Chain A
Amino acid sequence: MPSGEEAKKSDSRQCCICSLRRAVLKRPKTQQQICRECFFSAFENEIHQVIVENQLFRPGERVAIGASGGKDSTVLAYVLSELNRRHNYGLDLYLLSVDEGITGYRDDSLETVKRNEVQYGLPLKIVSYKSLYGWTMDEIVKAIGLKNNCTFCGVFRRQALDRGAALLKTDKLVTGHNADDMAETVLLNILRGDIARLSRCTLITTGEDGPIPRCKPFKYTYEKEIVIYPPHLKNYFYTYAYFKKLDYFSTECIYSPNAYRGFAREFIKDLERIRPRAIIDIIRSGENFRISTSTKMPEQGTCELCGYISSQKWCKACVLLDGLNRGLPRQGIGRTRGPNSAKKDGLKIQPEMETESVVRSKPCGTLDF
């Protein structure tokens, strides 16, 4: 062991993994002081481990990356294409974007995705609400106002992603949900008392019985590692995205003031400040909760109108769309369903069907799908 204060001092400047280069950042997840190269390899290796251990992909599969142009999905697209090359996953990767039709938000972020298409050489498919449903989010908001608009956006996006993935004939869909998102969802499900969702919100792959399974390779990746900005290092983003000089778009959705989620988000950030491990611990708790599997899952069928998977006669998107088209935008929102309940106002919105669970886990705005 090096003795003396000087040795200690120089120690603290050195990367504690390779002990060769100068440490430039303190890794948010482990608090190790490491150099840029070691950070990259640690970051990428962790994701590789997650992919291998959970057998997320099989060789030859076509995989769609849900790309919003935000940091998470941009980094995901980059890392996946990088790992695919390095470790010979044998995957065909595609970028899949949804155009909600939000002027000043989505059109800008789509520009980013289009640049990514060129930068990473991944084919891009854009599906738009307008083409699928005949409505843009702008039009929907104009029709229903700023209340409950996220319900529409969420339900529609989920289906749009599946449809886009089907058009691309992909076997899997990967999304950029990170560890912070996971932890937040676990907490929210506890606060809400939603035991069924609590049991499945920590799964790395969901919808395996559905048409296109979705997985989250960033399940254990800290948001801070994807992007942080330590204030003591002025004007520098010390992040994966920063170091790799990745191009991404970051603005909140103009239609999403999500206060309730904000509570939980802030709480998790506070916890992380005291104990960085807390995020992983919450996920681990979520995985270890002993929930009896007897909870009845709704029977899966197909929507009579559009053929999408649905537990009801009509899928949620069709119910909402029907309401929109008939000028009853409150149809399908809240506890009650059907045209009769359209007049009942003031009830709290409760996510009703499974279709909402994944998309609701992020505020509509920062969505990386």
Chain B
Amino acid sequence: MISFRTCRGFSRFNQFRGPLSFSFDSPLLLELHQIQPPEAVFLLQSNYFGTSEVTVKDEKFAPTQRAMACGQSACKSNCYKEEEDGNNQEENGRISGCTTTNTDSDHTVICSKCKEKEAVVPHNNHLYHDQLCLECFRSSLFGKFKLAVTSHSMISPHDKVLIGFSGGPASRVALQFVHEMQLKAHMNFEASRDRSLPVFGVGVAFVNESAVSSVPSHQVHQVNEAIKDMESIVSSLAPPMKEMYTIPLEGIFSEIPQEGKNLLHELLNTISDATGKEDFLQHLRMLSLQKFASDNGFSKLILGSCASRIACHVISATVKGQGYSLPADVQYVDARWKIPVVLPLRDCLAHELNLLCQLGSLRNLKLFDRPLSGINGQVSSFVALLQEENPSRERTIVRTAEKLTPFSFNKIPETDHANNHPSLPRRLKAQNLKSNESIAVDVFCAVCVGPLSASEMQKAKSGDQFAANCCQSCLFQILPKEPSALQNFYSLLPESMSRRVKGANGVGRHWLREKIADCLLSDDEAET
């Protein structure tokens, strides 16, 4: 007698269904014939609806069942991980072709989900217990993407979304998935009689960092070629039409390219810390995207940040002492910006996205793929090491950060659009931010736009200097120490960053003021 436990949860049940329907007409059950189909159904169903333990009377049945029991990588319930020894595996292979783990090259492995096509996604001890065909693998990733999009109302029909596209695998997949979604919406639109729901618009933005990357001048044409390549990728995803924009990073400093470049270089040279420089560049990139999006009427910014990336961010933010503001960065939605930023690929691992690009022959190119240095470099190699040791480590890290209390801006602000269209299926449940749990913030760091903690806020209130409005982490790693260098630093800052402090209408404060405009007495004059 062997008892086993299964994971509970919707997505897991889906995984369950495959093997279940399979086992109806298979010789397996006939062979076992201790369990009749109705009984099996009952067992599995009752298991899903609450009973945590299922008893199967035959030992032979157990290995297969076990494999089914925990299809999910990060399953935290008490299900058994595969521990079968060689014996069981052989038996396994004999009784069911679906979960065979034979590695013989001449043996074609059938996808364990659809039971039709050849499995191409390799069996991986912890990530996939099943070997999947490309289509099933792809649809599992698309499922995660779509769940994130719909449950956090990331894209609504009236939106015009801008995809931050670096050319790398993650943003390539984001682009592909958004395209598919748009295509479907487009087809629905064409087919519907009243055409009441418009199709959301998509733009693709590439931030050209050649001004700061160490690309030698003779390779400039390579950059241009790569950009052309990207344009061809984007144009291949039509209809519906998507426009690709190349945004030069120096654009936020000045309209004139050369002047902007000089300013950018000078500014970066004032930052001595390598990690600080890297992080600062990251902030500038975001500023560029934000500026472009708001100038061109986009309503959402989609980034391809994946779970692996976020896991690294969690650790590095901890190491940099940004524990307070950390939860703001790891949510699906980040609406502290003028244009809300959404992360639909937050649940996918970099490994999965790479694999999808490889197998699905999604063309991607790594253009400004600099190796990370300093703290960020240390952290990413540390996380990679841990991931190797346990493939669900990245997810665990993200899940830890998920448990931290998010901020009030970590959800899409309620708009009129949504209210005007009761036809839209709104999943309120999924906006899993209880309003009393999240904390309203009004002061943000002038550099990294992280919310300031209470003690930092005290300082921000006391002085209206730029430095007083920065978080401790930026103060240390980005702002120069010497007063003269600091002055120089201020003078070089792009307007959109320095404006955050002047007149104290920081991004967040501005946003909050809008929210509570009705209740505010006209104290604007009194305050200044």
**Same complex:** yes
- B-side contacts of A289, CB under 8 Å: 323-324, 326, 404
Contact A274 B322 (CB under 8 A): no
**With an 8 A cutoff between CB atoms, is A108 at the interface?**
no
**With an 8 A cutoff between CB atoms, is A271 at the interface?**
yes
B358 CB, min distance to chain A CBs, angstroms: 28
Contact B378 A284 (CB under 8 A): no
A102 CB, min distance to chain B CBs, angstroms: 29
**With an 8 A cutoff between CB atoms, is A285 at the interface?**
yes
Contact B321 A282 (CB under 8 A): yes
Contact B378 A187 (CB under 8 A): no
Residues 262 to 289 of chain A near chain B (Cβ within 8 Å): 263, 267, 270-271, 274-275, 277-278, 280-282, 284-289
- B-side contacts of A288, CB under 8 Å: 323-324, 453
Contact B323 A287 (CB under 8 A): yes
Select the stretch in B186-194, B393-401, B417-425, B511-519 that faces chain A. Answer: B393-401
Residue of B nearest to A294 (CB): B437
Contact A198 B375 (CB under 8 A): no
Given contacts A271-B378, A275-B375, A282-B318, contact A290 B439 (CB under 8 A): yes
Contact B321 A285 (CB under 8 A): yes
**With an 8 A cutoff between CB atoms, is A241 at the interface?**
no
How long is the Cα–Cα vector from A85 to B314 in the complex, in angstroms? 44
**With an 8 A cutoff between CB atoms, is A292 at the interface?**
yes
How long is the Cα–Cα vector from A7 to B378 in the complex, in angstroms? 37
- B-side contacts of A346, CB under 8 Å: 83
**With an 8 A cutoff between CB atoms, is B370 at the interface?**
no
How long is the Cα–Cα vector from A186 to B323 in the complex, in angstroms? 11
Contact A186 B378 (CB under 8 A): no
* B399 interface neighbour in A193, A263, A275, A285, Cβ under 8 Å: A193
Most buried by B among A189, A198, A282, A288: A288
**With an 8 A cutoff between CB atoms, is B161 at the interface?**
no
* B386 interface neighbour in A194, A263, A282, Cβ under 8 Å: A263
Given contacts A289-B326, A291-B405, A335-B78, contact A281 B378 (CB under 8 A): no
* B326 interface neighbour in A267, A271, A285, Cβ under 8 Å: A285
**With an 8 A cutoff between CB atoms, is A195 at the interface?**
yes
- B-side contacts of A192, CB under 8 Å: 396, 400
- A-side contacts of B378, CB under 8 Å: 267, 270-271, 274
A280 CB, min distance to chain B CBs, angstroms: 7
* B322 interface neighbour in A270, A271, A285, Cβ under 8 Å: A285
B296 CB, min distance to chain A CBs, angstroms: 35
- A-side contacts of B385, CB under 8 Å: 263
Contact A290 B404 (CB under 8 A): yes
A229 CB, min distance to chain B CBs, angstroms: 22
**With an 8 A cutoff between CB atoms, is A190 at the interface?**
yes
**With an 8 A cutoff between CB atoms, is B372 at the interface?**
no
A282 CB, min distance to chain B CBs, angstroms: 6
B205 CB, min distance to chain A CBs, angstroms: 32
How long is the Cα–Cα vector from A181 to B401 in the complex, in angstroms? 21
Contact B319 A290 (CB under 8 A): no
B-side interface size class: 35 or more
- A-side contacts of B382, CB under 8 Å: 263, 267, 270
A292 CB, min distance to chain B CBs, angstroms: 5
**With an 8 A cutoff between CB atoms, is B67 at the interface?**
no
How long is the Cα–Cα vector from A190 to B394 in the complex, in angstroms? 10
**With an 8 A cutoff between CB atoms, is B242 at the interface?**
no
- B-side contacts of A284, CB under 8 Å: 321, 323, 472
**With an 8 A cutoff between CB atoms, is A191 at the interface?**
yes
Total inter-chain residue pairs, C-beta < 8 Å: 93
Contact A190 B403 (CB under 8 A): no
| Dominant secondary structure at the A interface | helix
- B-side contacts of A270, CB under 8 Å: 378, 382
How long is the Cα–Cα vector from A148 to B320 in the complex, in angstroms? 34
Given contacts A274-B374, A275-B275, A285-B326, contact A190 B321 (CB under 8 A): no
Contact A285 B323 (CB under 8 A): yes
**With an 8 A cutoff between CB atoms, is B317 at the interface?**
yes
Contact B314 A190 (CB under 8 A): yes
A359 CB, min distance to chain B CBs, angstroms: 22
Contact B476 A190 (CB under 8 A): no
Most buried by A among B318, B374, B375: B318
Residue of A nearest to B393 (CB): A191
How long is the Cα–Cα vector from A116 to B326 in the complex, in angstroms? 44
- B-side contacts of A198, CB under 8 Å: 400
Chain A residues proximal to chain B, CB less than 8 Å = 186-187, 189-195, 198, 263, 267, 270-271, 274-275, 277-278, 280-282, 284-292, 335, 346
28 residue pairs from A and B, CB less than 8 Å apart: A189-B400, A190-B401, A191-B397, A192-B396, A193-B397, A193-B400, A198-B400, A263-B385, A263-B389, A271-B375, A274-B375, A274-B378, A275-B375, A277-B476, A281-B319, A284-B323, A284-B472, A285-B319, A285-B324, A288-B323, A288-B324, A289-B326, A289-B404, A290-B324, A290-B327, A290-B405, A291-B405, A292-B405
Apart from A189-B400, A275-B275: 18 A-B pairs, beta carbons within 8 A: A190-B318, A190-B401, A191-B396, A191-B397, A193-B396, A267-B382, A270-B382, A271-B378, A275-B375, A280-B321, A281-B320, A282-B318, A285-B320, A285-B321, A286-B323, A290-B327, A335-B78, A346-B83
The 3 closest A-B pairs by CB, nearest first: A285-B323, A281-B321, A288-B324
